[in-house]
Structure 1
Amino acid sequence: MTGPAFDDGELAGRVARSCALLKAEGLDGLLISVPESIYWLTGLDHWGFFAAHVLVLNADGEMALVCRAMEGITVANQVRNARFYGHADHEELSDHVLRAMADLGLKGGRVGIEKRSLFLTPRHAERIMQGEADWSEGSGLIDDLRLVKSPVEMAYTRKAARAADLGTLAAIEAVRDGASDYEVAAEYHRAAILAESEYPGFGPFFRPTSRLGEEHTTWRGDVFRTGDAVFMETCGAYRKYQAPMGRLVYVGAAPEGVERSVELAVDGMKAICAALKPGAAAGDAYAAWREVAAGAGLADYNRHHCGYLVGIGFPPSWTGGSMVTSLFPGSERKLEVGMVFHAHSWFTNTDVVDYFISNTVMLTETGAEVLTDQTPETLIVKG
């Protein structure tokens, strides 16, 4: 697909929902700097988000996009529903934001600002908030709207999941005694990209047993040997919709007792998916997974969560913004049809042999649907 990711009707519906939320919150406007939310509202898709962008939205649905002037051609080609305010690199972003606010009738109004955004530096925020407005915390407002996917977003997620599966299968085939993580990563990228994947929000992650506990490190030249376990946490992306998944692959031979761990991981994934129901609480999924662990004698084994919501993702993360919205113990967040999760069933650094699986799971009217279903969850030994 080379045209716009979203048609005018899709974007207009999102803007209308955002305006309704502003009015419910008593806000005249909102300054949006999370790249995923700017994309969701305007369709702006580029790597220029490394420099601060601010989308000014008023409660009537008018929008202005403030960013570097050099992005003007990209904005003109991609954005159809917001005025462009470009600043030179020697100019202050804040001056242009305040001018856009005035033009949209927000001077002196009650305006939200996303204080949790990774992409709005304290300098920018402080200078903007010197402007004339009744400032309010606006973090998470648009992020929450993005959690429930429309039919087109669900279709994009399915394409991303297919690419993740095909890439992961290719990476598994590259595992053997003497293979390097460069080879495995290269095969993943080749297959995933040919399956129409874009760059993911971060990763993918490939590492050996010796670095299993390093949550966010990836390939660096390690060579796999018989008896190693290769950690794979991968992700496909289509139109910026992320589909992460993970598998643990043993090289040459698997340790004694691993079958029990595999059974635990599979049972845990089934329990998570069974608990992901419309109207249920997010914490129910963790409780279901935890019950599997406790039933296997791992009464003291706990994790910070058993998954998190995903959707649009720009670097540096596939979690979809500045925060992780997770399936953590006791979470009361209501689950809704259209939510998408990276569900984890991990049993590592426990009294049983290491094993884990993770999948992209979509919540539908009939319950949880595993989208990354082409890669085996059962024991994988290669090489």
Structure 2
Amino acid sequence: MATANGFGTFTQAEYGQRLAGVKTRMQKAGFDLIVCQDPANMCWLTGYDGWSFYVPQCVLVHLEEDRPIWFGRAQDAKSARLTTGLPETNIVPFSERLVQQPVEHPYDELAQLIRSRGWGKARIGVEMDAHYYTARCHAQLVEGLPDAHFANNHDLVNWARLVKSEAELVLIREAGAICTHAMNRAIEKMRPGVPQNHVIAEIYHAQSMGVPGAGGDYAAICPLMPVGEGTSTPHLTWSDAPLPDSGLTILEIAGVRRRYHAALTRTVHFGKPPQA
């Protein structure tokens, strides 16, 4: 049951099952500890939901710990308290003075935290392909834990997320309904001469409003809408130019419900279609 803030989407029992599955994978991979900086993995493991991934942050999972540990910026610790249900001892903020500090780094304090827990010689799996686990994050962590053994965990948590629970499937189906609604609204808006950004505004409105009983969230991808010759390449967005009297447009969008996405792509032709 969600709270008034929209948090608490899943039960603690479900989070416990997720953690147990991740620990089984850790044992098989030979890790004592994993450092998860992928925002989706952090959310899946704990429920953490804050727009804070632009600074170093992570969730730690240790084989001998009953609950994960959230580590992040001091001003975001309240977000962890609101969204995760973790005990206060498992919410560990780093000093604000370390944000964009050219000499010191937040992961200096993360290394200190790991040492203080007696894990300085642990076998640590890190997310080498996570977008926000930067080269500097890794370098500072390795420097601060010279006796630890580091290895890429090869998307260990991402693979654990692959098979969805029944509660997750409910949200994905709701996201699909939101996506269908947004796509239909967009196609209704698309007429020759209509500015492209007006179509996009319709999409954003529909995505956010959602459908009865299921409000929408922001998407991890903006709407893609290549027009004309732009349809020969996949990842163009939009402009304020009018839609053409003749030619193709491609729409690729997503519907989102509590961070769960369902995507859809459609091709729209203006004017008389060419002969096959």
* TM-score, length basis structure 2: 0.88
Return 215-224 or 160-169, whichever deviates more. 215-224
5+ residue gaps, structure 2: 99-104
Q: 1:194 aligns with which of 189, 198, 209?
A: 209
Counterpart contact for 1:56–1:97, Cα < 8 Å? no
- C-alpha distance in structure 1 between counterparts of 2:188 and 2:274, whole Å: 20
- What SS does the corresponding residue of 1:211 show, helix, strand or coil? helix
% of aligned pairs identical? 22
Q: 2:141 aligns with which of 106, 124, 128?
A: 128
- Aligned pairs (5 A) from 1:9-28: 9-28=13-32
- C-alpha distance in structure 1 between counterparts of 2:86 and 2:117, whole Å: 14
| Pair 1:79-2:84 in alignment | yes
2:68 alignment partner AA: M
- Aligned pairs (5 A) from 1:9-48: 9-48=13-52
- C-alpha distance in structure 2 between counterparts of 1:35 and 1:125, whole Å: 17
- Aligned pairs (5 A) from 1:45-194: 45-61=49-65, 62-81=67-86, 83-91=90-98, 92-130=105-143, 131=145, 132-194=147-209
Root mean square deviation, CA, Å:
1.5
- String of CA shifts for 1:325-346, please: whole Å, max 9, x gaps: xxxxxxxxxxxxxxxxxxxxxx
- What SS does the corresponding residue of 1:55 show, helix, strand or coil? strand
CA deviation after TM superposition for structure 1 residue 59, in Å: 0.6
- C-alpha distance in structure 1 between counterparts of 2:24 and 2:117, whole Å: 17
- String of CA shifts for 1:219-274, please: whole Å, max 9, x gaps: 111211221211100100111111111000112332222xxxxxxxxxxxxxxxxx
- C-alpha distance in structure 1 between counterparts of 2:184 and 2:84, whole Å: 37
5+ residue gaps, structure 1: 258-383
What is the aligned partner in structure 2 of residue 344 from structure 1?
Answer: none
What is the aligned partner in structure 2 of residue 234 from structure 1?
Answer: 253
Counterpart contact for 2:45–2:68, Cα < 8 Å? no
Structure in which a larger fraction of residues adopt helix? 2
Counterpart contact for 1:176–1:252, Cα < 8 Å? no
- C-alpha distance in structure 2 between counterparts of 1:27 and 1:8, whole Å: 24
What is the aligned partner in structure 1 of residue 102 from structure 2?
Answer: none
| Pair 1:210-2:225 in alignment | no
- C-alpha distance in structure 2 between counterparts of 1:40 and 1:151, whole Å: 14
Residue-pair matches, total:
257
- What SS does the corresponding residue of 1:49 show, helix, strand or coil? coil
Counterpart contact for 1:4–1:78, Cα < 8 Å? yes
- C-alpha distance in structure 1 between counterparts of 2:246 and 2:274, whole Å: 8
* TM-score, length basis structure 1: 0.64
CA deviation after TM superposition for structure 1 residue 60, in Å: 2.1
Counterpart contact for 2:219–2:255, Cα < 8 Å? yes
Counterpart contact for 1:181–1:221, Cα < 8 Å? yes
Shift of the 3–87 alpha-carbon distance from structure 1 to 2, 3 Å rule, reads: closer
CA deviation after TM superposition for structure 1 residue 115, in Å: 1.3
1:113 alignment partner AA: V
